[in-house]
Amino acid sequence: MKRIKIDGAELAYRDEGSGKTIVFLHAFPLNQTMWDEQIEALSSEYRVVTFDWRGFGQSSLGEGISSIDVFADDLARLLKGLHIDGAVICGLSMGGYAAFAFYRKYSEFVSALILADTKSPADTEDGKRGRYEMADLTRSKGPSALVDVMTPRLIGETSSRNNRIIAERVKEMIESAQSEGIAQALVAMANRPDSDDLLSRIACPALIIVGKEDKLTPPAEAEKMHKLLPHSSIETIQDAGHLPNLEQPESFNRVVKEFLAKI
């Protein structure tokens, strides 16, 4: 794992392979190891960058996450530090919210977007309340208090039944995050702006991916984004929930590769 100092935080990252660059943005409350199968499958043909958001995995929290824009700014500084001036940005769930924030501020760096298991609307009032409660729970009890709450939401029914390793990996990732990183990311997500309007202004090619069994950001949300996003295609991954890249890596990697070959 490499490290780079960015605005008071130290971000842990991987930068593998060469060629067209694809940067993967991880979900909440996980870390970059959720993309290990994508690094393995893609880095013989592409330059693949993954990193831990500040406060997650092996990245320090630094000055904190005052809004979702902090993630966008960190990504911009990371790209600058790695001398990358254009990349395909693939964000899953919270990574997708960060991709919207990045596109809003730094669209010149985005050659294409992959939006996986994410959604464009802002949180409802109920959704926000839930996030504040989860932030309190994490601050008082630590990241492991989230394992039982989050795991069934993240993993699809098929993987829950057939693949125990996924749940173990998810647990490990959640427990590696810092309580304060989790709590601040929850508040940042609760306050993120609606991105429905942004979708119609996205000019680059985009691929939308969704796990058929995703309960958090279900296929209906993905279809809505597909309708609003002018140059988009959509792929549904069978037998996967919210984390198709982990649950069905071969299918996920195939649709990503097909998209990358086309653009």
Contact residues toward ligand MLT (CB under 6 A) are 27-28, 93-94, 189, 216, 242
- Residue number with CB closer to ligand MLT (94 or 110): 94
Burial class (CB in 10 A: 0-12, 13-18, 19+), 153: exposed
Q: For the chain, report the end-to-end CA distance as a whole number of angstroms.
A: 30
In the complex, least distance from residue 215 CB atom to ligand MLT, rounded to whole angstroms: 10
In the complex, least distance from residue 19 CB atom to ligand MLT, rounded to whole angstroms: 28
Rounded distance, CA 222 to CA 226, Å? 6
Strand 87-92 to 47-51 pairing = unpaired
- Residue number with CB closer to ligand MLT (167 or 216): 216
Residues ≥6 apart with Cβ < 8 Å to 205: 112, 113, 231, 232, 259, 262, 263
Residues ≥6 apart with Cβ < 8 Å to 227: none
Q: What is the DSSP string of 57-76?
A: TT---TT--SSHHHHHHHHH
- Residue number with CB closer to ligand MLT (173 or 202): 173
- Residue number with CB closer to ligand MLT (204 or 216): 216
Is the Cβ–Cβ distance between 6 and 81 less than 8 Å? yes
In the complex, least distance from residue 50 CB atom to ligand MLT, rounded to whole angstroms: 15
Q: H or E element: which one contains 184?
A: helix 179-190
Is the Cβ–Cβ distance between 103 and 113 less than 8 Å? yes
- Residue number with CB closer to ligand MLT (47 or 242): 242
- Residue number with CB closer to ligand MLT (134 or 207): 134
